[in-house]
Amino acid sequence: MSRRLGPLLAALLGLAGSLAATLYVFHAAEGALARVFEERLRGAGESAALFLGGAAPPAGHLHALMRVNSLDGASLLDRSLAVIADGEGHAGGRADLLRVDADKVQQAFAGVPSLGPSYSLGDLTVTTSYFPVRGPDGAVAAVLVLEAGQSFLAAQRDLARARLAAVVLAVLTALALGVVAARWSAAERVRHESAEKAARGDSIARMAAMVSHEVRNPLSVIRGTVELMREGGVSDAQRESLDDLIGEIERMNRLTDDFLLLGTPDRPLATAPVVLADVLTEAARAAEASFREVKVLCKLAPLPAVPGDPRRLRQVFANLLANAAQAQERGEIEISADRIDGAAAVRIHDGGPGIPAAVRERLFDPFLTTKAGGTGLGLAVAKMIVERHGGTLSLVDDGRPGATFEVRLPLGAG
């Protein structure tokens, strides 16, 4: 789970860091721009107020002030909010209270200048400033009102667009980082798994050589001796005991076969047309002989021949039936075979305790077992054989208690 979350966490951390840096830079830039804007507007208003000196400005002076400073409005008001002069030529009336803050006008008459957002026109916020204009005697004779709108605030809009572009770029960069991290993690996982498989394969190969030399040959001698004893004059009870002994020898032989197959997985298959019904029936009889408390119920639909190695396929179903019998101990095991999606599908179901969720992901790993005294080879070998036949082996959930394994093999022509 941690390996799968690693790329996501890397992308999130990259996104958080990039966004934090981007927003910090633009916040600082907005603050600097606001200070420049404020100083520019304040400088224009204070210099104009000094120049006016409380007198009515000459015609066109306020209009020139608007043009030079890219303002949207400039007017001179008296205490009653009457317009003494206006840059757009609308003097003589009263100020529009939707555009002018009467309290700030009175504050300016008290000698305190101010500026700040005043009103909005669609997406545009107009900033209005109020500057006291003093007469020759030093008293405030009028208030200069300046409006800075679209032209004056163009830099702020450009900065906002740049911030949006930077945020989008940060997100795209984080996504790219996540993709790179995911690919790197996947490559590392494949490399790690390949190294583990190579090491495990080397160990299994050495163990297989040891088993072949040290175990298989003595088993052949023991089996020959037991068969000679069984052919002699023995009682029924003794014959039954000898049969049990031969069954155990066969189990050991299957175990050595499993070791040898894991150790040499590339051994060629002896491929021929295989009638699955015959292989399954033979495997069922062998399982009933080895596990006398178990009955194997076969539900086999007619199927065309399967191209494969009959001995290896018998080994697959023998391993699966042995696992089922060991899990169930007694009662019926069900084998069903049918044609599904152009393949022969064989299902083996037991009524045992089922497969613990904790081991399902590694169920087919060699030497992994949930049974006391188990070797953990049966499923690994069965899966390897099935995949060499171009098929699949999987644990399926069919809604019944216990465990159900499904083998799918490609059908031959016919």
Q: Is 168 inside a domain boundary? A: no
Question: Which of 136, 159, 182 is the endpoint of a domain?
Answer: 159
Say what percent of the chain tops pLDDT 70. Answer: 77
Question: Which of 133, 159, 185 is the endpoint of a domain?
Answer: 159
Same domain for 154 and 31? yes
Q: Please, which residues have CB within 8 angstroms of residue 206's CB and are 6 or more apart in sequence?
A: 263
Residues 320/396, Cβ–Cβ less than 8 Å:
no
Among 159-173, 237-251, 298-312, name the most confident range. Answer: 298-312
Q: Is 252 inside a domain boundary? A: no
What are 175-230's pLDDT values in tens digits?
A: 777 777 778 777 877 888 777 766 666 666 666 666 665 666 777 778 788 888 87
What are 229-259's pLDDT values in tens digits?
A: 877 777 877 877 877 787 777 767 766 776 6
Q: How confident is the model at residue 345 (pLDDT cuts 50, 70, 90)?
A: very high
Total count of domains within the chain: 2
* CA pair distance 43, 193, nearest whole angstrom: 71
Q: Is 380 inside a domain boundary? A: yes
Q: Please, which residues have CB within 8 angstroms of residue 133's CB and are 6 or more apart in sequence?
A: 49, 52, 53, 54, 76, 140, 141, 142, 143, 144
Number of residues that this document lists for the chain:
414
Domain boundaries, position 348: 268-410
What are 372-408's pLDDT values in tens digits?
A: 555 667 788 889 889 989 999 999 988 888 899 999 9
Reading the block at residue 316, the tokens are: 């697959």
Q: Is 47 inside a domain boundary? A: yes
Same domain for 274 and 145? no
* CA pair distance 65, 88, nearest whole angstrom: 11
Q: Is 74 left (phi over 0), alpha (psi -120 to 50) or beta?
A: beta
Q: Is 257 inside a domain boundary? A: no
Q: Give pTM, 2 decimals.
A: 0.46
The values of phi and psi at residue 259, to 5°, are: -60, -45
What are 125-153's pLDDT values in tens digits?
A: 778 889 888 888 888 888 888 888 665 56
Same domain for 11 and 128? yes
Same domain for 293 and 146? no
Q: Is 246 inside a domain boundary? A: no
Same domain for 129 and 276? no
